[in-house]
Each structure stands twice: as C-alpha cells, then as structure tokens.
Chain A
C-alpha cells in the first residue's frame, strides 16, 4: 500500500508491515509532539495506533491518504489517553537548563515549546498539525475531526496567544 488515494488497503500482514515501516516515523513524530516529548508514551500510543489501524483496515476506503487516516487514529489514541490520565504533561525544567547552555537558538526553541505548552489544547493541536507536522489546513481539519473554519480559527487564536506568551521575542531577535 502506498500513500495514494487510488490504492486499496492491503488486508495481509505482509502488506500491513509495509504500512508500518513507511508511516511509523510520522505517526511517532506526531505523538511525540502531542505528548510534549514523552518518547516512551508516544511509542506506546503509536503501537496502539497501528493495531487499531490493522483491526479497522477494511473500513479504510481510500478516500483519504493513508498518512492522514493514521494521524487521525493517532490523535484519537492521544485523546483517549489524556482522558484516562488527566494529569497534565509538561516539559521538565532540566531540559530547559540544557537548552539554555546550547545557545540562543535552542533556548528560543525551548521558549516556543513552553509557550505552545501553555496554549489551550485545541489551539496547541491545531498549531502542531499545521506547522510542526506540515499538514495543509484541510488535512489538519480532517485529522482533528473539525470543520475547516474551526481549525482556521484555532490556528489564528493560537498564533495570537503565542505572540503574547513570546512577548519579548520579535522577528529581528531570531539568530
């Protein structure tokens, strides 16, 4: 199976293994972003994502790209996990200290991550999918299960809030 709308899903373990190999990086990257860098949790959720995908493979009708379909399952897995463990995840301060030693670029990046962390979840999810995973607005809306207009307003609000959180930063300050 390739990442194409025309190709039908392959209902065989060998075919699905190719899907796992081809798409695992992106799904794990998405979940690492959503879990704020918790690699172990992200990989657990990614495994669950592929198991769910395998169990519902016959329901995939090729109307979306395989990657979008997998992102959507992964996002649902993340939401289910968050509901079952309401404690908020946050970036630990040790990594902030390391980032500060790495230089202004890493420190700025850490500030951005921290500012993202402070956003309401829908805005954070919208920005992650649109900018960090580089999906189009339409694809991000499909993954998140929102109407396109809702996605766009979350993106706009998220960006406005980020600017407030990054108050001291201005474009000229970029290294």
Chain B
C-alpha cells in the first residue's frame, strides 16, 4: 500500500465524535468531590516540609549559641583587661555578671519563633 492509500486510511479513521460539555456532568462530579476529604500533599512533600522546619530550628539554635558564646567571651576579655580598681567598684562586677547572665539565658533558653 502506498503513502496516499495510507493517508486515505488515516483520513477514514479520523472522524472525531464531538461530545459537547454538559453542565450536569460537571455538577455530578463536583457533588461527588465535595463529599470527599480534601486532597493533601503527598507524604514525600510533608516529609520534605518537616525536614526544612527541623533544619531551620537547628540553625536558629546554633545562632543563639554563637551569640551567647560571643557575649561570654567579650565579658571575660573585658574583665581580664579591666584595671583592678575598676573591678573593685561596688556593683561593677555584679552588673556585668547580671547582663551576661541575661544574655546567656535569652540565647540558650528562648524557643525559636519559627
């Protein structure tokens, strides 16, 4: 069979049946659909989301520890470098320790917001 015969056979096959849109069909599908639970993201997507959240929390925790460590180091350097008579002033050491304690407490104990 040659190409023109082949084309003629394909033309014979190509007789589209037009099915017009039917509002009743759409309504029936929507009614059935409303009775079903909403579709949720697949398990893999949920796991990916959980992983991202845990990673963000870890990062926030590390940042807070870095801030706490830096503050503590700064206080230690300041204390080591300060003149003896300045440290002997009433309340100076107590004030420094209180500020350091507050920063440490905020950094280590505060829960991340996200």
Binding site for B on A (CB under 8 A): 11, 13, 16-17, 20-21, 24-26, 28-29, 32-33, 43, 46-47, 50-51, 54-59, 108-109, 112, 116, 127, 131-134, 159, 162-163, 166, 169-171, 174
Whether A51 contacts B12 by the Cβ 8 Å rule is: no
Whether B33 contacts A32 by the Cβ 8 Å rule is: no
Instruction: Tell me the smallest distance from the CB of B102 to a CB of chain A, in Å.
Output: 46
Whether A24 contacts B25 by the Cβ 8 Å rule is: yes
CA distance A109 to B12 in the complex (A): 7
Whether B39 contacts A25 by the Cβ 8 Å rule is: no
Binding site for A on B (CB under 8 A): 1, 4-6, 8-22, 25-26, 28-30, 32-34, 36, 38-42, 45
Known A54-B36, A58-B45, A163-B1; contact A21-B21, beta-carbon cutoff 8 A: yes
Whether A32 contacts B19 by the Cβ 8 Å rule is: yes
Instruction: Tell me the smallest distance from the CB of B21 to a CB of chain A, in Å.
Output: 5
Whether A29 contacts B9 by the Cβ 8 Å rule is: no
Name the contact of B8 in the complex, choosing from A21, A56, A59, A171 (C-beta under 8 A). Answer: A171
CA distance A109 to B38 in the complex (A): 45
Known A29-B19, A134-B16, A174-B8; contact A17-B30, beta-carbon cutoff 8 A: yes
For the A-B complex with A51-B32, A134-B14 known, give 7 more contacts whose Cβ atoms are closer than 8 Å: A11-B39, A24-B25, A28-B19, A55-B39, A57-B39, A134-B16, A163-B9
CA distance A58 to B42 in the complex (A): 7
Q: Which residues of A contact B13 (CB under 8 A)?
A: 112, 116, 127, 131-132, 162
Known A32-B17, A162-B9; contact A51-B36, beta-carbon cutoff 8 A: yes
Whether B6 contacts A24 by the Cβ 8 Å rule is: no
Q: Which residues of B contact A159 (CB under 8 A)?
A: 6, 9-10
Name the contact of B12 in the complex, choosing from A17, A58, A174 (C-beta under 8 A). Answer: A174
Known A20-B29, A132-B13; contact A25-B18, beta-carbon cutoff 8 A: yes
CA distance A25 to B23 in the complex (A): 11
Name the contact of A24 in the complex, choosing from B14, B22, B33 (C-beta under 8 A). Answer: B22
Q: Which residues of B contact A26 (CB under 8 A)?
A: 19
Name the contact of A131 in the complex, choosing from B14, B26, B33 (C-beta under 8 A). Answer: B14
Tell me which of A17, A33, A171 has the highest count of chain B C-beta atoms within 10 A of its own C-beta.
A171
